[in-house]
Amino acid sequence: MTSAPGAPPVLSVRNLSVTFTGSGRDVPAVRDISFDVHAGEVLGIVGESGSGKSVTSLAITGLLPPTARVSGSIRVGKVEVTTADAETLRHMRGREVGMIFQDPTTTLNPVLPIGRQVIEGQVSHGFVAASEAPARAAALLREVDIPDPDARIGQYPHQFSGGMRQRAVIAMAMAGQKRLIIADEPTTALDVTVQAQVLAVLAKRQAETGAAVILITHDLGVVAETADRVAVMYGGRIVETGTVREIFAAPRHPYTVGLLQSLPRLDVVADRLVPIPGQPPTPARLPPGCAFRPRCPIGRDRPLCAAEDPALHAEAGRATACHFPDEIPTLLGAPLPPRAAATPKPAAATLPAPLLEVEKLQVHFPIRTGLLRRQTGTVRAVDGVSLSVRPGETLGLVGESGCGKTTTGRAIMGLIRATGGSIRFGGDEVTTMDPAALRRTRRNMQYIFQDPYASLNPIKTVGDIVAEPLRIHGLFEDAGGMKRVAELFELVGLSRTMLGRYPAEFSGGQKQRIGIARALALAPKLLILDEPVAALDVSIQAQVVNLLQDLQKELGLAYLFIAHDLSVVRHICNRVAVMYLGRIVEQADRDTLYEQPAHPYTQSLLSAVPVPDPARRGHTGRIVLQGDIPSPAKPPSGCPFHPRCFRAEARCSTEIPAFRDLATQPTRAACHFAAPRLPEQAA
Amino acid sequence: MTGYILRRLIQLIPVLFLASIGIWAMVYAVPGSPIGAIVGENATQEQIADAMQRLGLNRPLHEQYWSWLTGALVGDFGQSIQSREPVLHLIMARVPATLQLGLFSILVGLLLGVPVAIISALFPNTWIDRVLSAWSALALGVPTFWLGILLILFFGVQLRWLPAVSTYVPFFEDPLGALRNILLPALTLGTYVSGIFARFLRASLLGELKADYVRTARSKGLPERDVVGRHVMRNALLPFVTIVGLMLAAFVGGTVVTEAVFTYPGIGRLLIQAIGVRDYPLIQGCILFVLVIYVLMNVLVDVLYAYIDPRIEYR
């Protein structure tokens, strides 16, 4: 569905610069970028926070705030966006350009019905008569595979699941044969199986309409699977462009190399990630010369790189902005070996006794309704979870949002009351402890939260934040006071000179290090890590993952690692448990679970992870799950996964499968038909 | 929904019970006895004892409270010591006047405040925003008695367009006469609340204008009036409804100062008069009435919330 050769591009950007002038001094967010997008093509724009990728998308649609100063040229069809008046831009947005944003929870208006939001743009531009609007809205929802669209148009966003919301946003963006679709991190807020659904719908609608698509993302896997061409942005500039295969097979900019190397992958072995050192620059504080120089293995000490920002050299369809492109291949090193088959694990007799043992843990929340607040139902958030963590090992707990993994972690920590089952820590039962004993035990378990921004009190200095657990337990003086806090700072790779600063002065990665230092203050034996790297940029994520691995080795810590990112889990965990709807459906050592997943849900999850290797695009093994995770208030009868399972038979809807050891491999699974995928399915 | 309202009303019972103890006891806790006011300063011991006997003031406190409470439950708040009329009658006679003033004041406040908020929020930190913000601060800061006196002097005394003393004329009997009488006090109170409304709604609008769904609405190519009118306004109204409801409750509960300035026959003046002569049953009745208005208005606001916000489900 590519346009005829020689046809003018749908979008043409030339020498675009965007500078924000609001804060008293000029902040260059986008600096001199040029690119084209043609009909039927997907251009992937890759970059970390602050790289200017989202500002670029707002500039194209003319939605920048008034404090932005734009220079250069943006042509969408016949419209020159940089000089057009507001009314022309408004018509362009309604007719030519559709936008898909990151978080469908906030991008839809909570108080207006979905149908109206999907169609109102078309009505406003006179393409659809008001009388036909409901029917058109329903038709649009049907095109993005939303079941029962006639009833759905009257519902509100909170009545849709996350995946359905994002599909509704796609329907809205593509309404009326738009020629250009800009998708800004369209799947970042979604679970991996839902991401697969949404990307499939996006690809289907693009094929039907022949629209040009700009896909802005930090996820190299998504880019590898969907983009035709790629532009890599750093510090407000495009530093490299090329076809998707070229970029992944032979990157020509040290930043691209760094990104690819810092990514944990499902398909290759690496004992240690290779992070890019330092932080991405903020637009307000760009280093002189090449913006990447302070982090660059080639240019770090070269005067030319510090003095002069390299121009983007184009050559045979590829371009790179580096003074020393010939040296790039030396960075690549030997290709990483593909993963070998699972090696047998040492016999169980040599393993130490578990530090944490959870058995048949239940966390049920009552649903109360009516005048007298009678309990009319139960949300089975956690419904019979058993797991164990040994000293010095990492157990991964994976699953999609709403599966109960965070509730499990919080119940173990005692932040939520368990309604059943047992939790033993170091052999002692936690659920029945008196408050004083519980306090002592809790010292040995610490919790690290997902959001490093929200989990640090903004009005305390970071030194006080890290010292707080010591003070609460009355150990501050005994532990050595601020000297101990300074040691903790150095342990997590921060300077002790930062003790007196406030959280707002730190970047996301540094804040997460502060969170880790706070958790380590009481010298715990177990850390419960709840999505500790999910909010971080790829290059920073690798730094924190490496830090966690180093700390584990150095201090002999045990980790319960709660995450949805299967690649990170494969990299860091020894054993993995997969949760679905409050239950563990499969548990095995890491390699067995990833090489020979036995439960259909694990198989679907693994197949849905985008692989950052465009050569493997279109591998036929993807299982796209239908529907959404059911509500834990009304779990399906029998096996909770059976309504979405490709292997389900009549028995699955009546009989709950036992969580049992499999005869064929060292795996425990709760499935009547647990077995590795057949070769024709695995493809 | 009906179940929700019923439950909320039932939840009010303990609130009102506790408050009734406070209101009843407060009167006995302050120095000075109602007896002095009834029998006069030169009364003899017998006259005092006689009055105490007659009013039941010599019974144990819990008995006094109990009989007051059981009476209050069936609408009997006792007799006014001053006028010998039932307290309930006195209050009910003033309710229409206070209600009319309260509603008109809120209306004036909305008419003055909402446009100011919208213009301020659409052009934040511009000269027009600064001028309007200064105006709201002024409206809020000027004491109502002073503004009231100023309005009376100008429109009532100088120009003689409007009566300087406002009496209650029922709106549905004589709309023009009602407007003539209510305009100045409503303008006084309305100016004051318009400052509150403008500041509150401006902040709420500015917060909503930064929301992601606004960017989505603009990306659809909607004209700005639809972006603000359809998308932003409804969300911004959610917190605003609370403040309007509370102010309405405050005005309906009686506006002591303004009613005094305009000698308007509302609940506020009734309360002031009652306090002046230590008419304890009347004071208790007035305060309880104000309290009931407040809590009922809160329930009303919560119900309105559900009407505006589909995410709120009342079960």
Tell me the C-alpha to C-alpha distance, in Å, between residue A617 and each of A225, A245, A468, A597.
Answer: 5, 10, 50, 21
Do A499 and A486 form a contact (C-beta atoms < 8 A)? yes
CA distance B230 to chain A (A): 9
Retrieve residue A162's tokens.
């996350």
pLDDT at A381 over 50: yes
Listed by number, the residues of chain B in 279-308 with a beta carbon closer than 8 Å to a beta carbon of chain A are: 308
pLDDT of residue A118: 93
pLDDT at A350 over 70: no
pLDDT of residue A679: 52
pLDDT of residue A115: 93
Collapsed DSSP state (helix, strand, coil) of residue A194: helix
Among the partner residues A91, A97, A101, nearest to B216 by beta-carbon distance: A101
pLDDT of residue A342: 42
Q: Report pLDDT digits (tens) over B79-134.
A: 887 788 888 889 888 888 888 999 999 999 999 999 999 999 999 888 999 999 99
CB atoms under 10 Å from CB of B170, counted, come to 12
Residues of B in contact with A61 (CB under 8 A): 219
pLDDT band at B231; cut points 50, 70, 90:
very high
Higher-confidence residue of A513 and B308: namely A513
Q: Report pLDDT digits (tens) over A315-327.
A: 877 899 999 888 8
Residue B192, strand partner residues: none
Q: Which residue of A has its CA nearest to B222?
A: A121
The share of chain A scoring above pLDDT 90, in percent, equals: 43
pLDDT of residue A119: 94
Best of B125, B214, B215, B216 to substitute, by most chain A Cβ atoms within 10 angstroms, is: B216
Among the partner residues B3, B220, B308, nearest to A111 by beta-carbon distance: B308
Q: For A556-595, where are the alpha helices, taking DSSP H only?
A: 566-572, 590-595
Among the partner residues A94, A117, A373, nearest to B221 by beta-carbon distance: A94
- Average the pLDDT over B274-290 and give the result: 85
pLDDT of residue A213: 95
The share of chain A scoring above pLDDT 70, in percent, equals: 94
Q: Which residue of B has its CA nearest to A118?
A: B220
pLDDT at B65 over 70: yes
Residues of B in contact with A68 (CB under 8 A): none
Retrieve residue A229's tokens.
């061409």
Q: Report pLDDT digits (tens) over A152-173.
A: 999 999 888 888 898 899 999 9
Q: In what order do the strands lie in the sheet with A318-320?
A: A97-100, A180-184, A212-217, A42-46, A229-234, A237-243, A318-320, A313-315
Q: So what's the ipTM on this one?
A: 0.80
Higher-confidence residue of B26 and A509: namely A509
8 Å CB contact of B220 and A111:
no
Q: Which residue of B has its CA nearest to A94?
A: B221
pLDDT band at A1; cut points 50, 70, 90:
very low
pLDDT of residue A39: 93
Q: Which residue of A has its CA nearest to B211?
A: A106
Q: Report pLDDT digits (tens) over B172-191.
A: 888 888 888 888 999 999 99
Q: Report pLDDT digits (tens) over B140-169.
A: 888 888 888 898 888 888 888 888 888 888
- Report DSSP state, residue A395: E
A107 at B interface, C-beta within 8 A: yes
Q: In what order do the strands lie in the sheet with A526-530?
A: A445-448, A526-530, A558-563, A394-398, A575-580, A583-589, A667-669, A660-661
8 Å CB contact of A95 and B221:
yes
pLDDT of residue A335: 56
pLDDT of residue A334: 55
Among the partner residues A63, A370, A373, nearest to B219 by beta-carbon distance: A63
Q: Report pLDDT digits (tens) over A488-506.
A: 998 888 888 888 999 988 8
pLDDT at A343 over 50: no
pLDDT band at A338; cut points 50, 70, 90:
low
For the stretch A9-40, what's the b/e string if a residue is b when 16 or more beta carbons lie within 10 angstroms of its beta carbon?
Answer: bbbbbeebbbbbeeeeeebbbbbbbbbbbbbb
Q: Which residue of A has its CA nearest to B237?
A: A111
pLDDT of residue A612: 84
Q: Among A265-279, A377-391, B40-54, B214-228, whose mean pLDDT is lowest?
A: B40-54
pLDDT band at A551; cut points 50, 70, 90:
very high
Q: What is the mean pLDDT of chain A?
A: 87
